[in-house]
Structure 1
Amino acid sequence: MSYAIIGFGKIGHALAKAFARNGIEVSVATTRNPQSFAADAAAIGPKVIAKNLADAVKADVIFLAVRFESRGDVAKALPNWQGKTIVDVTNAYGVPPEQLGGQPSAQAVAQAFAGAKVVKGFNHLVAAVLDQDPAVHGGRRVVFLTSDDDGAASEIGTLAEKLGFAPIKLGKISEGGLLVHARGNTWGQLIFKDLVKFD
């Protein structure tokens, strides 16, 4: 299984650190030349590899960590996303609900990435929290996952556990997923909740 993070801002950096902490190789990419951020990637760890977008999207699992409005630019990188799992880390805060046709933002992402399995996840924690080791006081920091594809949600749940998090599945995007979606100028009820699970 291969992994990529598209977007290398604060959230992209935090995700890359989670992979590096656990010795899992991940490529990172933006729409810029990878030489412009290769040193940043290498500083996180030897298994964080800067790539151009066309190469990064060859990964099986792709974390979409760009601004929500930039999803279409990334989606153009492949004509079809069949066989890929997209982890939607975006938040559509400030995007008018009518612009989304009344649907959750992850469904707009699914429409852009035709053929992909989309899992909304890792988007409810601010970058400064996501950046920290998820092992907290003997427990594990919670990440919420929601998807219309149960298999994809389980796959990302397993990855979240490898990264040290405690995944909690909220069901389908149109149901529990609304708890972690921004709508217009309001945040879902679970966004910014920094919860720890004790086993």
Structure 2
Amino acid sequence: MLFKSLTIFLLIGAALGSAVPPTFEITVETTLTDFLLHSPVLRSGETFNAGCFDYYLPVIKGHADQLDADFVFCQDTYDNAFVLIDGSYTYARDELRDSVRASCGSMLLCDGDTTNSKAFECLADKGPSSSKDLDDVSDKAADHQASLLEEVRSIKKTLSDCQLTAQRNYKANHAQSLEEMNGCLADPEWDYPTTVSVL
């Protein structure tokens, strides 16, 4: 009995200490702890097949590792798409920058006039045209921003769908492995299966 208790606590430590799971996964991973602590098979003491742990704990860890890999893939796909989308607006940004510099530059030239009268005349003359140019820049910038954000919303949705699929696959595989391990623990005649759960 002492051997069984020690084995259970070592397995709990190995299962929980093998990796730091994402926040959503923590509650799922505790089901393994709950399983080990509350399994009728382990508590009854009638049958105990230690080979089940040797086989299924690496399988369960494999599901967690696959989840991490899937999340990295989802994030990398999003990051690469964002760089492409943002980069596609560089030319538009440069055009607006040049327009601002031209408009503001023409106004700043007025400061070079030697008399106040000439400076005021210059500003009064160039002001309306520069103001119209800046209003146009503002309108175009707002249009570009709306278009860019719409494209980003689309890839954020793709990211969310990708992560959700990874979570669902993980939870299904994790639950299946726990169920199989429970059946294995109750079967003293259990032998290694010829196939493994699909990750």
Relative contact order higher in (CA < 8 Å, ≥ 6 apart): 2
- Which structure has more strand as a fraction of its residues? 1
Q: Which structure's CA Rg is the greater one?
A: 2
Report the TM-score, using the length of structure 2 for normalisation: 0.22
Report the TM-score, using the length of structure 1 for normalisation: 0.22
